């Protein structure tokens, strides 16, 4: 075994180790966090080399300068994976928030040229430097709250040239941040009002942009908002085909506010994940379960907008693997950290704390195609891990966003410490 340069010992260790295979966890395994009391984890050059319990860590070969952390019984677990965010934007939507809280409907505001369009205007006006700075700051906040892998979507450019600019800004911010970023081209988020009369041409141009995005390495996946009055599955099909042709994954904003068959569509397209799914049909759930595709629940947006949250138990009963994410965006979910997403997944969606922890780590990694790279503390994976200020991980769900994360390691490097 290679010599360890980082050892965390005397921890309540949650390994999230795969049970039989590397598939996303569902059914009876959905809440298995692989807890080891008085556990330890060791890494070398940012990669986990071994885990164990008791004093066996003393037998490890280690470099003379190895860092040895005594967790004192506190929880050590994989860093959070946040597989769905829109954190590349400028401006705020306080006014819309107040209007909606006074009764205005989310899709009606969008239809009138507010909502997503308001953020598009503000984001287009922001310079590359200003936008990169906003993204970098939001990434740093997420990291300080325990996120070590995060997806970031474009989607507030709409016009392909502006989407490309935003993806380049995301790449720039990702390079300077300490955590692993998975960028997504959100190609069909809303129809620009200027294109009301040439809808078809706009959609075709978005699909044609996918090859360019892929050739520049600007995204790992392509996304679309499939919703009543936004885009339908037929319109999104050519985009999904372009993604597959370019070797990119597909992910879908599916059935968030209405059942429009988007969850079944995601399964048919062999999507990497189907997200939101608050109104997915029973057929949609069966299709996801059959294909082993994770549903990404976004309780922050249900909470903030006030629609009926996805019922996790329906998905669990149907054997659909579940991930959770913040959906951080200025319109529907200003949530900045995964601990609050975990708390809401438990209180609003009906997950157990352990199911929510699985959903926030290993299953989130699967939702980003990183199920064999991170999300679990087992030999060979990135040493992405966090320490909590508690010896009972269920406090993450109970604490409603309490500052429980005391240390964050990204690929073995300490990046944040409370």
The contact set with ligand NIG (CB under 6 A) reads 86, 115-116, 119, 225, 253, 256, 301, 327, 329-332
Closer to ligand NIG at the Cβ: 258 or 406? 258
User: What is the per-residue DSSP string for 104-144?
Assistant: --HHHHHHTT-THHHHHHHHHHS-HHHHHHHHHHHHHHHHH
Smallest distance from the beta carbon of 188 to ligand NIG, in angstroms?
A: 11
Residue 251: contacted member of Fe ion, ligand NIG, none (CB under 5 to 8 Å, by partner type): none
Rounded Cα distance between 254 and 239, Å, is 15
Sign of CA dihedral 372, 378, 382, 386: positive
Contacting range for Fe ion; rule: CB under 5 A; set: 34-42, 163-171, 326-334, 410-418:
326-334
Cα 216 from Cα 172, distance rounded (Å): 13
- 294 in helix, strand or coil? coil
Distance from C-alpha of 35 to C-alpha of 22, rounded to nearest angstrom: 18
Diameter over CA atoms, the chain:
71
Whole-number Å distance between alpha carbons of 149 and 122: 27
Residue 256 or 390 having the CB closest to Fe ion: 256
Identify the burial level of 129 via C-beta atoms within 10 angstroms of its C-beta, where 0-12 means exposed, 13-18 middle and 19 or more buried: exposed
Is the CB of residue 130 less than 8 Å from the CB of residue 180?
A: no
Q: Which of 82, 264, 327, 384 binds Fe ion (CB under 5 A)?
A: 327
Q: Give me the least distance between CB of 181 and Fe ion, in Å please.
A: 16
52 vs 229, beta carbon nearer ligand NIG: 229
Q: Which residues, in sequence order, are CB contacts of 62 under 8 Å at separation 6+?
A: 3, 4, 5, 7, 42, 68
Q: Residue 282 phi/psi, 5° resolution?
A: -60, -35
148 binds, among ligand NIG, Fe ion, none (CB under 5 to 8 A by kind): none
Q: Toward ligand NIG, which CB reaches closer, 79 or 330?
A: 330
Question: Smallest gap, in angstroms, from Cβ of residue 86 to Fe ion?
Answer: 6
115 interacts with, out of ligand NIG, Fe ion, none, CB within 5 to 8 A per kind: ligand NIG
Q: Which stretch binds Fe ion (CB under 5 A): 56-64, 116-124, 319-327, 397-405?
A: 319-327
Q: What pairing do the DSSP bridges indicate for beta strands 413-417 and 405-410?
A: antiparallel
Q: Give the whole-angstrom CA distance, residue 164 versus residue 160.
A: 6
151 binds Fe ion (CB under 5 A): no
Q: How far is the CB of 116 from ligand NIG (least distance, A)?
A: 5
Which of 93-101, 323-331, 357-365, 374-382 is the region at the interface with Fe ion (rule: CB under 5 A)? 323-331
Q: Whose CA is closest to 74, among 48, 43, 41, 38?
A: 38
Site for Fe ion in 13-32 (CB under 5 A): none
Instruction: Give the integer Cα–Cα distance in Å for 180 and 253.
Output: 22
Nearer to Fe ion (CB atom), residue 176 or residue 308? 308
Please report how close the Cβ of residue 26 comes to ligand NIG at its closest, in angstroms.
Answer: 23
- CB 276 to Fe ion: min, Å: 7
Q: How many residues bind Fe ion (CB under 5 A)?
A: 1
Smallest distance from the beta carbon of 86 to ligand NIG, in angstroms? 6
Whole-number Å distance between alpha carbons of 190 and 156: 9
* Least distance in angstroms from the C-beta of 325 to Fe ion: 8
Q: Which residue is nearest to ligand NIG (CB)?
A: 331
Q: Which is nearer to ligand NIG, 36 or 116 (CB)?
A: 116
Length of the chain: 418
List the single partner that 119 binds among ligand NIG, Fe ion, none, CB under 5 to 8 Å by kind: ligand NIG
Shortest Å distance, C-beta 81 to ligand NIG: 17
The option from ligand NIG, Fe ion, none interacting with 303 (CB < 5 to 8 A, set by class) reads none
Neighbours of 107 (CB within 10 A): 15
Per CB under 5 A, which region of 26-34, 111-119, 327-335, 373-381 contacts Fe ion? 327-335
Sites of contact with Fe ion (CB under 5 A)? 327
């Amino acid at each position: 075994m290679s010599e360890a340069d980082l050892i965390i010992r005397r921890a309540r260790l949650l390994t999230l180790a795969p049970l039989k295979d590397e598939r996303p966890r569902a059914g009876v395994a959905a809440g298995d966090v692989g807890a080891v009391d008085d556990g330890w984890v060791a890494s070398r050059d940012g990669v986990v080399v071994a885990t164990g319990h008791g004093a066996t860590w003393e037998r490890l070969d280690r470099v003379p300068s190895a860092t040895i952390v005594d967790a004192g019984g506190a929880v050590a677990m994989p860093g959070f994976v946040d597989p769905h965010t829109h954190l590349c934007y400028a401006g705020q939507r306080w006014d819309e928030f107040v209007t909606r809280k006074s009764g205005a409907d989310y899709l009606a505001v969008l239809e009138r040229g507010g909502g997503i369009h308001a953020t598009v205007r503000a984001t287009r006006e922001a310079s590359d430097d200003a936008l990169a700075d906003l993204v970098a700051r939001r990434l740093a906040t997420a990291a300080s709250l325990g996120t070590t892998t995060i997806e970031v979507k474009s989607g507030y450019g709409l016009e392909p040239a502006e989407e490309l600019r935003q993806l380049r800004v995301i790449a720039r911010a990702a390079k300077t941040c300490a955590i692993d970023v998975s960028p997504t081209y959100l190609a069909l988020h809303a129809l620009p009002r200027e294109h009301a009369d040439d809808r078809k041409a706009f959609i075709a141009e978005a699909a044609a942009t996918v090859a360019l995005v892929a050739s520049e390495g600007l995204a790992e996946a392509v996304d679309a908002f499939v919703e009543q009055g936004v885009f339908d599955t037929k319109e999104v099909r050519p985009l999904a085909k372009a993604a597959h042709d370019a070797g990119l994954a597909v992910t879908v904003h599916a059935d968030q506010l209405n059942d429009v068959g988007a969850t079944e569509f995601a399964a048919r397209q062999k999507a990497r994940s189907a997200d939101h799914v608050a109104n997915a049909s029973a057929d949609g759930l069966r299709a996801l379960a059959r294909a082993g595709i994770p549903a990404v629940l976004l309780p922050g947006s249900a909470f903030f907008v006030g629609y009926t949250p996805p019922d996790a138990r329906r998905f669990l009963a149907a054997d659909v693997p579940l991930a959770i994410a913040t959906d951080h965006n200025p319109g529907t979910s200003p949530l900045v950290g995964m601990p609050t997403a975990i708390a809401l997944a438990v209180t609003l969606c009906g997950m157990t704390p352990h199911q929510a922890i699985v959903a926030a780590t290993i299953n989130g990694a699967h939702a980003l195609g990183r199920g064999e790279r991170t999300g679990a503390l087992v030999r060979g994976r990135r040493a992405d891990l966090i320490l909590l200020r508690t010896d009972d991980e269920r406090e993450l769900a109970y604490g409603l966003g309490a500052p429980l994360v005391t240390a964050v390691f990204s690929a073995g490097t300490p990046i944040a410490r409370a």
